[in-house]
Amino acid sequence: MLFGGYSGQAYSPAGDKGRYVLPPLFRKAVKESSDSRTLCLTKHDRWNCLVGFGLSRKLEFEAQLDREEEMAFKFQRDFDRETRSSQLNGFAELPFDDSGRFVMPDYLRGLADIGDGLYFQGGGRFFTVWNPDELMRMGDDWAAAKAACQALVAEAEAKAKRK
């Protein structure tokens, strides 16, 4: 099956024992991309969030490095290929169960100020994973994501109160 990328939004409150849940929409896409239940997570290079993807994205990294190096040369900017390669390939590979539960390492939670829940935002070849409070600090170009996040968090809180 051809991998179609990551799209949509979801929210997942923190579970017991420090576990989080990869929502079904993203879980299915990661499984398609990885041919396994392996979630790759790393810190985004500019935003205060995490980037998630499946194992197949590793195959794109050399071409991405080539493009970034070419652009740096074109615009006469410094480019350290080894550093950038280490950044791209420094992701954590996290197994998840059939329900999408996974344990996020403390260092990743700290890097993106992850707290009581995760907001997932599709981004095509990857998706971002946010602490909702961090997302709300983003500019107006994130208005749609902010609105979706607020609605999904409110829905999850209402559901939790009914229990």
102: in domain: yes
Q: How confident is the model at residue 2, as a pLDDT?
A: 59
Q: What is the pTM of this model?
A: 0.88
80-132: pLDDT as tens digits: 999 989 888 889 999 999 999 999 999 999 999 998 899 999 999 899 999 99
Residue 76 lies in a domain: no
Is 2 part of a structural domain of the chain? no
**Domain assignment present for 111:** yes
Residue 121, domain extent: 9-57+94-158
Total number of domains constituting the chain: 1
Distance between CA atoms of residues 114 and 44, nearest Å: 13
Please compute, for residue 31, the number of CA atoms within 13 A of its CA located in the half-sphere on the CB side: 13
Q: What is the mean pLDDT of residues 36-53?
A: 94
Q: Is the pLDDT of residue 1 over 60?
A: no
147 occurs within a structural domain: yes
In DSSP notation, 20-54 reads: EE--HHHHHHHHHHHTSSEEEEEE-SSSSSEEEE-
What's the mean pLDDT in 128-143? 97
Q: Residue 16 sits in a domain of what CATH number?
A: 3.40.1550.20
